[in-house]
Amino acid sequence: MRPFKYTRASDAMNAVSTVSATTSAKFLAGGTNLLDLMKEDVERPTELVDVTKLNFAQIKAANGGVSIGATAKNTDTANHPLIRQNYPLLTQAILASASGQIRNMATNGGNLNQRTRCSYFYDVAMPCNKRTPGTGCGALDGVNRNHAIFGWSEKCVATYPGDMAVALAALEATVKVQTKDGTERTIAFADYHRLPGDAPEKDNNLNHGELITSIELPKNNFADKSYYLKVRERASYAFALVSVAAALETKGNVIENVRLALGGVAHKPWRALEAEKFLKGKAATEVNFKLAAEMEMKTAKPLEYNKFKVELGRRAIARALMQAMNGGKA
């Protein structure tokens, strides 16, 4: 690991100014991804500003919904009574991710900013436009089994690896950010992460030095019928091949409102808007779920080694919706 200066921030504005002042400075929260990337020489910060002592760990009712602090741990968020009761989809998504140890360390803000696990990104001997812009994409014509089937570009076919963010996309959360001029701004979740386009080095729309302070969950009526389904190569402690955050609001058997977001298939959590559009106002039946899944996956553009994700995605969407109808029981 390369040398870096370590400081503990005691004040948010100070932390933001310190990181803003140096392009190679970074915030350190749980460190579960950043430290790993530093050991791999992928991330090379010259300065780390530890933000875990800042007062952003609260989880509280706010504006009819719930506000979750950026430095609250994943474990505490998943298990908070307000989240378990009102946003079980988020609880399930967090608990589907990583391991008990890592969820005890990882923070909500850091979780959003974790980087892709694309093996070409991780291997500094390989070309990667995300790691070193202009070097090419090793995965495009390489081993791309774990890569994107939606929204990729010639520059980058990496996927966003997280689970929590997939649920947050379905819940239409907003991200609160402290900017370097001392003001606060909010980013709609759909606009938080980016598609790779011509600038895959940018995972999200945060400006350098901006600090996430909280994630806001709006009130919804999905708590009775939602489910996070994660399909992976082993039963636990593995990244998703495909994951689905499904949430339904029904009246009788008619779908009044539906949200679907997919993980493991794109550079950002992928809202399945085609499927949502199809389902709204239709009967909540397995046939309709399958038709909706079909409709969404028809737009997929798989790569050489991840064609299986299209069929997997189709089945996962239908199954997640069925589980959601079943009260989201595991």
Partner 1 sequence: MAEDFDELNAVELTADETALLEDLPELSEIGEARRKFLGQATALGLGALALNLLSPEQVFANLEIPADAVFAPVQVENGVKVAMKINGAEKSLNVDSRMTLLDALREKLNLTGSKKGCDHGQCGACTVIVDGRRVLSCLTLTASCEGKQVTTIEGLAKGDELHPMQTAFIKHDGFQCGYCTPGQICSAVALMNEAKNGEASYVTVDVRGKARSIQLSDDEIRERMSGNLCRCGAYPNIVDAIREVHTGKDVAQKWQFAGETETALFENSVSEDAKQ
Interface ranges with partner 1 (CB under 8 A): 1, 3-6, 8, 28, 31-32, 35-36, 39-40, 48, 50, 52, 75, 78-79, 81, 84-85, 88, 91-92, 95-96, 98-102, 104-105, 223, 230, 235-237, 327-330
Query: What is the number of residues in the chain?
Result: 330
Task: Tell me how far, at minimum, the Cβ of 240 lies from partner 1, in Å.
Answer: 12
Structure tokens at 304: 């050489």
Report the residue number, 4 or 305, with the smaller CB distance to partner 1: 4
CA angle 28, 204, 3 (to 5 degrees): 30
Number of alpha helices (DSSP H) and beta strands (DSSP E) in the chain: 12, 12
Structure tokens at 140: 């495009």
Task: Tell me how far, at minimum, the Cβ of 25 lies from partner 1, in Å.
Answer: 13
Task: Tell me how far, at minimum, the Cβ of 79 lies from partner 1, in Å.
Answer: 5
Between CA 175 and CA 112 the distance in angstroms is 10
Report the residue number, 51 or 148, with the smaller CB distance to partner 1: 51
Report the residue number, 95 or 171, with the smaller CB distance to partner 1: 95
Task: Tell me how far, at minimum, the Cβ of 44 lies from partner 1, in Å.
Answer: 12
- Residue 238: CB partners within 8 Å, gap ≥ 6? 232
End-to-end CA distance of the chain: 41
Task: Tell me how far, at minimum, the Cβ of 1 lies from partner 1, in Å.
Answer: 5
Task: Tell me how far, at minimum, the Cβ of 88 lies from partner 1, in Å.
Answer: 5
Report the residue number, 89 or 303, with the smaller CB distance to partner 1: 89
Report the residue number, 98 or 255, with the smaller CB distance to partner 1: 98
Task: Tell me how far, at minimum, the Cβ of 170 lies from partner 1, in Å.
Answer: 16
Report the residue number, 196 or 328, with the smaller CB distance to partner 1: 328
DSSP of 97-161: SS-HHHHHH-BHHHHHTPPP--HHHH-TTS-BTTTSTTS-BTTTTS--TTS-SSS-BTTB-----
Report the residue number, 95 or 279, with the smaller CB distance to partner 1: 95
Between CA 102 and CA 82 the distance in angstroms is 22
Residue type, 17: S
Task: Tell me how far, at minimum, the Cβ of 167 lies from partner 1, in Å.
Answer: 12
Q: With beta carbons less than 8 A apart as the criterion, state whether 140 and 303 touch.
A: yes
Instruction: Mark 282-294 as b/e (b = at least 16 C-beta within 10 Å).
Output: bebeeebbbbbbe
Between CA 284 and CA 287 the distance in angstroms is 8
Between CA 288 and CA 275 the distance in angstroms is 10
Report the residue number, 3 or 134, with the smaller CB distance to partner 1: 3
Between CA 323 and CA 330 the distance in angstroms is 8
